[in-house]
Amino acid sequence: MARNGVIGSSVPRKEDESLLRGTALFVDDVARSGTLHACIVRSPFAHAKVASIETAAAEGAPGVEAVLTARDLPPGLRPIPMRMFTSGPLNDYLQHPLARDVVRYSGEPVAVVVAESRYAAEDAADLVEVEYEPLPVVLRPDDAVAPGAPLVHERPGSNRAGGFTIEWGDVDRVFAEAALVVEERIECGRHAAVPLETRGLVAEVDRLTGVLTVFGAAKIPHVNRRILASLLELPEERVRLVELHVGGGFGARGEFYPEDFLVPFCALRLERPVAWTEDRSEHLRACNHSREQVHDAALALDADGRFLALRDRFLNNTGGYVRTHGLVVPGMTAALLPGPYRWPAYRCEVNQVVTNKTPAGTYRAPGRYEANFVRERLIDIAAHRLGVDPVELRLRNLIDRSEMPYATGTHTDGHPVVYDSGDYSRLVGLTLERFDRTRWLAWKEEAVAPRRRGIGIALFVEKSGIGRWDYARVEITSDGGARVFSGGASVGQGLETVLAQICAEGLGVEYERISVVHGDTAVVPDGMGAFGSRATTLGGSAVFRSAARLRERVLELASEHLEIAASDLIVRGDRVVARGAESRSVTLAELHELSRPARVLDRGGEPFLSEHDYFLSEDMTFPYGVHCAAVEVDTETGEVELSGYTVGYDIGRAINPVLVDGQIVGGVAQGVGGALYEELTYDEEGQLVAGSFMDYLLPTAGEAPPVDVLVTEDAPTPRNPLGAKGAGEGGAAAAGAAIANAVADALGAEPTRLPLTPERIVELARGAAG
């Protein structure tokens, strides 16, 4: 493909200016005259019958316009559907926008108060009297599947909402005959995406057109428009979702939640704009949690340290309901648990389990953060038992680049997982060199008691470009620039910048002259948004193809005008010029004029310079990486200090290296949070203990480590025209694994549970000493 140096260049971001000046529009900044404010009344119980709800006092409070309970919603209203990785039996576990007879987690919406101000709405919410009859609570997934456990959902009659098994080879025989078997219960703690901007919505009905507009969409505006229209029984054309600036997503924000129905419903019912802004403690109880899994996993090896089989049965705690993601999270765990290694035999039993906690969904590297922790921990334990260098043990078992494309044998949502490209051992070598492992090995020996030092490594294969297709249109504008309309979405990752770069490459127009429109369903006909590291790979590929088609049309029109063969013309900056005779040119602004209907229809031409295209990928792409961590552990206080951290990541092709770097460093900080600090702890009655930023500890600049990033482009994907694989998740994906392995090395103990809080570190250190 043509390269003009825009792709691969770290151009400054288009998004920054308004964000830096404080003029960027986030959803809570939207001001509509006559706006009412909603406050959600939430269950204080983790599991209870709703005996009665008395709303009269709240309705009579100052400024209150309405109080709605489940009885006020349409009688035939269906629960919020799954949007991907669906499974029939899971339909019995879906959430209704407002609880009807039973509440199943603390924080579940039971009523909505709408009032003249947020203050008045919150005052009145306290006056809604709900009578609850508490029911027994079950919180741990292993307790939930034990015989006699309280049922979270009575009707389906089981707390195992669904699952499946992926298996090949004679697993039991291999384990029976293996020279070494490592078997552990490994648990990943519950934590969450926690974007800095909480969720929010403003919904209003246009009196002229009757169109319901909802501001505050994120991640998947078109998908959510379809869900909202279907729940409201409106044609999709009557519903418009608009994405504004979005203060971080990371998987959780932008899914369809109860509030995404309730706020638009109130706006329709009351015929006034209705706004809702989540507060932080509400966010921590209401927005998707993630990561809580309990694995019983085992590794079988021969005497030479060759991997013979991997066996895992795990429970994914999805909380009180199955939300939009269906089986995505545990499904991804099972699909990518094999990592970059060969497994002659494999069995992974997936169990999606409901409990009385907040429902769970995806969070950056969903299912893989957990899977990588499980697999890489088992490998290190095996290395310790065999007395082999953990790096050496890994190198013996890596898939070789000559085996690409490599069918792993697993599948996700019906698609076989086939790695597209990669040179895993090369990246291990490059990353360890960059990390300077030899130096850290020497550093380790200089630890002074009670502090100990260790280094850890973790390998992983990520996936990117889920949701297979996307849409783009590119047009020449009247001022001689170009405008991209993309089906992608921005959650703060720099989408506009990257798509403009790709458009510049495909079209030849300067980056500075390109603007990007996205996230408004009234302007962009369809799209799949931003999740699973897809916006660049799929959204970008759609832009690239549209831009390349548009370039042909631009050259064609210029050719007619200049009377020079199109093959002798190039798009350069703001104009089309003749090769070797640049004085002969026509500006894009002139071409735009020449493309108006009155100028072209007579000749049977097509008006305006605009081309759209869809991109459909045959399959996902698979970036891969290596995390290396050096830790110093205080065995008395339990503090873990990250002294060194290096990530090597091959993403095929980096569109904007500085942005890729930023994705990885930010991802590591989140991964560190889940490894050491962040845990959504509950008391035995099912109350969220870590319900504010005083207890739920996001890493600050004091905890997030300096990260050295090595991005390589050794294995471009053949599955899209850019060669690019997604970069969004690799920073988080193996942080828990690498840090746990480093702590194991430091303490001479085998941690099997994240996060490694000070209490757990001290306990491990004592166990190792005893």
Partner 1 sequence: MTRREVEVEINGGIVRRTVEPRLLLSDFIRHEARLTGTHVGCEHGVCGACTVQLDGEPVRSCLLFAVQANGRRIRTVEALAGPGGELHPLQQAFHETHALQCGFCTPGFLMTLEPFVRDADPATLDEATIREALAGNLCRCTGYQNIVKAVQLAAERIHA
Interface residues with partner 1 (CB under 8 A)? Answer: 10, 12-13, 15-17, 19-26, 28-29, 31, 119, 194-198, 245-248, 250, 279-281, 491-494, 658-659, 661-662, 665-670, 692-694, 698, 700-702, 704, 706-707, 731
How near is the Cβ of 692 to partner 1 at its closest, in Å? Answer: 6
* 602 contact partners, CB below 8 Å, separation of at least 6: none
DSSP 608-635: SSEEEEEEE-SS-B--EEEEEEEEEEET
Between 195 and 454, name the residue whose CB sits nearer to partner 1: 195
Please say which residue, 547 or 626, places its beta carbon nearer to partner 1.
626
Nearest to 518 by CA among 549, 545, 491, 547: 491
Helix pair 368-386, 328-336: axis angle to 10 deg: 30
Structure tokens at 30: 């939207």
Closest distance between partner 1 and the C-beta of residue 42, in Å?
16
Question: Least CB distance from residue 700 to partner 1, whole Å?
Answer: 5
**Nearest residue (CB) to partner 1, 98 versus 629:** 629
Q: What angle do CA 768, 309, 432 make, to 5 degrees?
A: 60
Residue found by looking up tokens 């049977």 in the block? 604
Largest Cα separation within the chain, whole Å, is 91
User: Quick one: which of 361, 415, 410 has its CA closest to 82?
Assistant: 361
Residue 619 vs 641, nearer CB to partner 1:
641
| Nearest residue to 29 (alpha-carbon basis) of 18, 15, 44 | 18
* Cβ count near 694 (within 10 Å): 7
Nearest CA to 753 out of 701, 675, 677, 654 is that of: 675
- With tokens 């994120």, the residue in question is 218
Q: How far is the CB of 585 from partner 1 (least distance, A)?
A: 33
Could you identify the residue written with the tokens 């045959």? Answer: 618
CB of 246 to partner 1, least distance (A): 6
384: tokens are 């310790």
Residue with tokens 């009757």: 210
In the complex, the smallest distance separating the C-beta of residue 575 from partner 1, rounded to whole angstroms, is: 29
Which lies closer to partner 1 via its Cβ, residue 198 or residue 372? 198
- Is omega for the bond preceding 405 within 30 degrees of 0, making it cis? yes
User: Taking the complex as a whole, how short is the minimal distance between the CB of residue 123 and partner 1, in angstroms?
Assistant: 10
Alpha-carbon gap, residue 475 to 609, rounded angstroms: 6
Reduced to 3 states, what is the DSSP secondary structure of residue 69? strand
498 contacts 7 by C-beta, under 8 angstroms: no
Nearer to partner 1 among residue 171 and residue 659 (C-beta): 659
Residue (25 or 565) nearer to partner 1, CB: 25
Residue 614 neighbours by CB distance under 10 Å: 16
Nearest approach, Cβ of 117 to partner 1 (angstroms)?
9
Tell me the residue type at 494: G
Alpha helices in 192-257 (DSSP H): 221-232
Closest to 508 (Cα-Cα) out of 569, 572, 457 = 572
Shortest distance (Å) from residue 113 CB to partner 1: 18
CB atoms within 10 A of CB 391: 18
Compute how many other C-beta atoms are within 10 angstroms of the C-beta atom of residue 38.
26
Q: How far apart are CA 518 and CA 501, in angstroms?
A: 15
Cβ–Cβ contacts within 10 Å for residue 377, how many? Answer: 28
| Least distance between partner 1 and beta carbon 125 (Å) | 16
Which secondary structure element, helix H or strand E, spans residue 268, and what is its range? helix 258-270
Min CB(488)–partner 1 separation in Å = 15
| Shortest Cβ 279–partner 1 spacing (Å) | 6
- Closest listed residue to residue 329, CA positions, set 220, 251, 248: 251
Minimum distance between the CB of residue 221 and partner 1, rounded to whole angstroms? 17
Q: What is the Cα–Cα distance from 189 to 654, expressed in whole angstroms?
A: 32
Q: How far is the CB of 460 from partner 1 (least distance, A)?
A: 18
Residue 85: is it exposed, middle or buried by C-beta count within 10 angstroms (0-12/13-18/19+)?
buried
